[in-house]
Amino acid sequence: MDFIKIHVKGIVQGVGFRPFVYRIAKENNLKGYVKNMGNYVEIVVGGKKEDIEKFIDDLKSKKPPLSKIDDLKIFKLRDEVNFDDFVILDSEETNKEEEGTIPADVAICDECLKEMMDKNDRRYRYPFIACTNCGPRFTIVEKVPYDRENTSMRDFPLCEECLKEYKNPLDRRFHAQATCCPNCGPKVFLTDENGEVLYEKDEAINEAVKLLEEGKILAVKGIGGTHLVCKVNDDEVVLTLRERLGRPSQPFAVTSKLEYLGLFAEYDDEELETLISPKRPIVVLKKNDDYDRYFSKYVSNLDTIGVMLPYSGLHYLLFDKEIAYVMTSANLPGLPMVKDNGEILKKLKGIADYFLLHNRRIINRCDDSVMKKINNRMIFLRRSRGFAPEPIEVDIENNKNILCVGGELNSIACLVKKNKFYLTQYIGNTSKYETFCYLKDAINNIIKITNTNKIDAVVCDMHPLFNSTKFAEELADKGVELFRIQHHHAHAFSLMGDNNYFDDCVIMALDGVGYGLDGNIWGGEIFAWKNNKMERIGHLEEQYQLGGDLATKYPLRMLLGILYKKICEEAIDIIKEYNFFSEKELKIFALQLKKKINCPITTSCGRVLDAISSLLSVTFEKTYDGEPAIRLEALASEYIKRKRIDIEVSPKIKNNILNTTDLVYDCYEMLKNGIDRGSIAYYAHIYIADGLSRIAIKNAEKLDVECIGLSGGVSYNKIISERIRKNVENCGFKFLYHKNVPNGDGGLSFGQGVGYILMNSQ
């Protein structure tokens, strides 16, 4: 008889790993035990040599679908160990600072779904049905190890029947921490806007469906957060929701069932696979020609629609007559999604007509993830539910615990331990106090659930006003090393880390705003990474941002600033035509531009797209992040769909600076000459993409590098980023693009971590 001990690290908790070990141990006639150690699983087995070998093979090859083995260590035990049988031992709490992982939430599995729809099952129509293969994880966990008493399921002691399943190693619900049933688990109830309970349990759900079909707006508390839900085909209710939320035009995501998807959207295999994956993100799909038959035009004014398939039992139960529902995070713009019953009722009063709530506490709120296919790849617009807090691994050496606080918008923080990057769930705009507090909570939480005892370094942005920076400075006051990384450097590092590419390269970082090394606002940058240094080798032309942040909100200001550079006072007359500003405002703008009062300098790519968006009367007021540029892209891609032509542009470049004044002025001239707005929009995209490509390629040739990359929020723009990719690859370079990390500021903290390690290692 041989005896061995195995330590398995990775995603091995809450995914049915121990019962799986039990099963294969039994199958291979082994004795011993398996035990959850908080951060890893310990297995001790005794048996015949060949049985043990087979066991180890099975361990690797037959592991449960949701599990992931990062590290498997095998120790030979000298002494004989006496076992009568193979057993599963209780979890052990460990203090050792070892990387452990709480799994992310998992969408309801097929087996549970089948049971839920089975009249004879004791969990028939019970929305909280879960097993080791599915259900909430991260959103209900308070601390490690992931055991029921460390989750909000501890409020619901198991009934006898459930306990039997929970204790049976051969049952699908063996040690399923979220398991429960109608007798012992959480309950749903429906309330009016005053919190008065109207119906409970199944009746509440039936009534909710009826109300939705009648055209009411419901707040639905789900697994890791709350959604506002309404019909998609009713202009009135969609507009009402828009008005109540103060969200005039940002597209709403919808939820629909697999069988209805083809009615209104186009998708390929990869998009479908993403949609039905257990991570179940929102996927941004192209609308098809029949879309308008099923949807109010107020759901999305773009050529795309964000769709999610149901991921909880409750979602499935909401479907009866409707083919889709608007399902949008219940939060006021910029503020965290509401999650506690009292808070939901208070904050959403006047927004939702009715409330479908339940009595399980949400511990960690987690917004839906959002993905879109760009450059033939599923890209994260937002990385959150289904992914957080599972780490991203990078081939990089590091022995410090590094906390990276990110930027300000679309914030996500990141804790780096060894080569593992733990990105928090999506946080949002931390310029808001409430969201800033959420950032701090999420950071404390990621530190806790990774069993981290100390932080060696904290990395932040260089913007002197970011709250995240102030938070980092506070930590630094307590003796933690503080390191600042320029915003677009962090974007570039994020791209390198995401591709495990650390050799010399040229990277474009394109976005809306970031504090530059020269104190100006950057956003259209080209860098060379060489000799462990990030060097700015090119950028967009500097423009004046008339009125600072106001130029972002009102893009005509940006347009005026750019045209003024070319034609001075004449530009005022052009802007006057839009009838957007008063005489007085225009008079002051002229003086403001002449005297450069509150006209910060920017090389932002987003602002140039904004200016053109307003020039073409697409957007005069930004109501959500990136709106003018996003709608300009929609206009351009609608044009491409109409007329498939390749256009030639000759971008003006001088000293590696792409001229944007002439771009904007030329667009103005085209508009004046009656050229199709869609074609002008398309021209602007190509001008920017080709111009930046040209600078990047020329420098890449000079520097003799192999790769050219693209990162930053503008790289979500399909037209620009696919054009740049084509240009780069046509010239024989490898194109670096994102995979596992968001392109935009959601990937900033990850880049800060990579940058810290690269810049401090030599």
Partner 1 sequence: MKITRMHGAGGKVMQDLIKEVILSNLEKTSVNGGIGLECLDDASTIPIGDKEIVFTVDGHTVKPIFFPGGDIGRLAVCGTVNDLAVMGAKPLALSLSLILPEGFEIEKLDKIMKSINEACKEADVAVITGDTKISNVDDIIISSAGIGIVDKGKAIRDSGMKDGDAIIVSGNIGEHGLAILLSRERFEFDADIKSDVAPLNKMIEMVLNEGIEVHAMKDPTRGGLANALNEMAEKSGLGIDIYEDKIPISEEVQSMADILGIDPLTVANEGKVVMAVKREDAKRCLEILRKHPLGKNAEIIGYATKEHKGVIMETIVGKRIIDTPIGDPIPRVC
Examine residue 512 and tell whether it contacts partner 1 (CB under 8 A). yes
| 534 near Zn ion (CB under 5 A) | no
CB-based contacts of 114, cutoff 8 Å, min separation 6: none
Asked if 450 and 100 touch (Cβ cutoff 8 Å), the reply is yes
Q: Are residues 456 and 480 in contact, defined by beta-carbon separation less than 8 angstroms?
A: yes
Q: Which stretch binds partner 1 (CB under 8 A): 192-200, 221-229, 321-329, 580-588?
A: 580-588
Q: Comparing C-alpha atoms, which of 621, 601, 608, 604 is closest to residue 684?
A: 608
Nearer to partner 1 (CB atom), residue 466 or residue 737: 466
Select the binding partner of residue 151 from Zn ion, partner 1, Fe ion, none (C-beta < 5 to 8 A, by kind).
Answer: none
Query: Which CB, 76 or 595, lies closer to partner 1?
Result: 595
DSSP 150: G
CB of 185 to Zn ion, least distance (A): 6
Residue in this structure with the two tokens 């399923």, named with its chain if needed? 176
Among 86, 294, 354, 466, binds partner 1 (CB under 8 A): 466
Check if the beta carbon of residue 355 is closer than 8 Å to that of residue 345: yes
Conformational region of residue 352, where left means phi above 0, alpha means psi within -120 to 50, and beta covers everything else: beta
Pairwise CA distance, residues 424 & 639, whole Å:
38
Q: CB under 5 to 8 A by kind: which of Zn ion, partner 1, Fe ion, none does 589 bind?
A: partner 1
Q: Which is closer to partner 1, CB of 30 or CB of 714?
A: 714
First to last CA, the chain: 49
Burial class (CB in 10 A: 0-12, 13-18, 19+), 640: middle
Q: Which of 281, 280, 391 is nearest to 11 (CA)?
A: 391
Give whichever of 160 and 269 is closer to Zn ion, judged by the CB atom.
160
- Kindly state the tokens that stand for 305: 């629609």
Question: Which one of 169, 281, 606, 678 is in contact with partner 1 (CB under 8 A)?
Answer: 606
On whether the CB atoms of residues 519 and 443 are closer than 8 A, the answer is no
In the list 164, 346, 349, 587, the residue contacting partner 1 (rule: CB under 8 A) is 587
The window from 383-391, 430-438, 534-542, 639-647 that contacts partner 1 (CB under 8 A) reads 430-438
Q: How far is the CB of 598 from partner 1 (least distance, A)?
A: 5
Q: Can you tell me the distance from the alpha carbon of 518 to that of 39, in angstroms, rounded to the nearest whole number?
A: 45
From 546-554, 699-707, 720-728, 749-757, span contacting partner 1 (CB under 8 A): 546-554
CA atoms within 13 A on the CB side of 361: 11
Vertex 604, ends 653 and 723: CA angle to 5°?
A: 60
Is there a catalytic annotation at residue 18?
Answer: yes
Residue range at the interface with partner 1 (CB under 8 A); choices 233-241, 449-457, 461-469, 644-652: 461-469
Q: Which of 18, 172, 484, 677 is catalytic?
A: 18
Nearer to Fe ion, 188 or 490 (CB): 490
- Beta carbon of residue 692, minimum distance to Fe ion (angstroms, whole number): 16
Q: Pattern 467-486, binding to partner 1, x per CB under 8 A?
A: x-------------------
Q: Does 113 bind Zn ion (CB under 5 A)?
A: no
Between 278 and 333, name the residue whose CB sits nearer to partner 1: 333
- Catalytic (active site) residue 36: yes
Instruction: Point out which span in 13-21, 126-134, 286-294, 570-578 binds Zn ion (CB under 5 A).
Output: 126-134
Binders of partner 1 among residues 696 to 715 (CB under 8 A) are 713
11 contacts partner 1 (rule: CB under 8 A): no
Of the residues 436, 544, 665, 683, which one makes contact with partner 1 according to CB under 8 A:
436
* Residue 159 near which of Fe ion, Zn ion, partner 1, none (CB within 5-8 Å, type-dependent): Zn ion
Q: Which of 290, 261, 287, 291 is nearest to 273 (CA)?
A: 261
Cα angle for residues 506, 508, 514 (degrees, 5° grid): 130
Residue selected from 105, 147, 511, 633 as contacting partner 1 according to rule CB under 8 A: 511
Q: Does 177 bind Zn ion (CB under 5 A)?
A: no
> At its nearest, how many Å lie between partner 1 and the CB of residue 523?
9
Give the pair of three-digit tokens for residue 474. Answer: 């506070």
Nearer to partner 1, 127 or 523 (CB): 523
Single residue of 549, 570, 573, 701 touching partner 1 by CB under 8 A: 549
Q: How far apart are CA 541 and CA 687, in angstroms?
A: 13
Is the CB of 272 or the CB of 588 nearer to partner 1? 588
State the residue for tokens 């308008």: 292
In the region spanning residues 232 to 271, those forming contacts with partner 1, defined by CB under 8 A, are: 246
Based on the shown chain and the rule CB under 8 A, indicate whether residue 433 belongs to the binding site for partner 1. Answer: yes
* Binding mask of the shown chain, residues 131 to 170, with x at each position contacting Zn ion by CB under 5 A: x-xx------------------------x--x--------
Q: With CB under 5 A, what is the number of residues at the site for Zn ion?
A: 10
The two tokens of residue 612 are 């053109």
- The answer to whether 348 touches 228, Cβ cutoff 8 Å, is yes
Size of the site for partner 1 (CB under 8 A): 50
Q: Give the nearest distance from C-beta 253 to Fe ion in angstroms.
A: 23
DSSP conformational letter for 84: S
**Least Å from the CB of residue 355 to partner 1:** 21
Q: Which residue is nearest to Fe ion (CB)?
A: 511
290-325 exposure pattern, b = at least 16 Cβ within 10 A, e = fewer? ebeebbbebbbebebbbbbbbbbbbbbbbbeebbbb
CB-nearer residue toward Zn ion: 159 or 649: 159
d(Cα 550, Cα 89) in Å, to the nearest integer? Answer: 61
The beta-carbon contacts of 698-703 under 8 Å, at least 24 apart in sequence, are 698/656, 699/506, 699/526, 699/528, 699/537, 699/538, 699/656, 700/505, 700/506, 700/733, 701/731, 703/504, 703/506, 703/528, 703/530
Decide whether 258 or 437 has the Cβ nearer to Zn ion: 258
Q: What sign does the dihedral 723-728-729-731 (CA atoms) show?
A: positive
Backbone angles phi, psi at 658, to 5 degrees: -85, 120
173 sits in which H/E element: none
Q: Of these, 585, 638, 676, 706, which contacts partner 1 (CB under 8 A)?
A: 585
Q: How far is the CB of 139 from partner 1 (least distance, A)?
A: 23
Among 25, 59, 88, 112, indicate the residue that binds Zn ion (CB under 5 A): 112
Angstrom CA distances, 681 to 571, 615, 617, 637, stand at: 20, 10, 11, 9
Residues forming contacts to Fe ion in the complex (CB under 5 A) are: 511, 745
Among 88, 745, 753, 755, interactor with partner 1 by CB under 8 A = 745
Q: Does 183 bind Zn ion (CB under 5 A)?
A: yes
Please report whether residue 431 would count as binding partner 1 according to CB under 8 A.
Answer: yes
Q: Does 215 bind partner 1 (CB under 8 A)?
A: no
Strands annotated E in 188-291: 188-191, 197-200, 218-221, 226-231, 254-256, 265-266, 282-287
Q: Which of 28, 36, 401, 451 is catalytic?
A: 36
Residue closer to Zn ion by CB (options 133, 543) is: 133
What single-letter DSSP state applies at residue 411?
Answer: B
The distance of closest approach from Cβ of residue 359 to partner 1 in the complex, given in angstroms and rounded to an integer, is 28
595: phi then psi, degrees, rounded to nearest 5? -95, -5
Chain residues in the site for partner 1 (CB under 8 A): 246, 332-335, 408-410, 431-436, 463-467, 511-513, 515, 521, 545-553, 584-585, 587-589, 591-592, 595, 597-598, 600, 602, 606, 625-626, 713, 745
Residues near Zn ion, by CB under 5 A: 109, 112, 131, 133-134, 159, 162, 181, 183-184
> Which residues have a catalytic role annotated?
18, 36
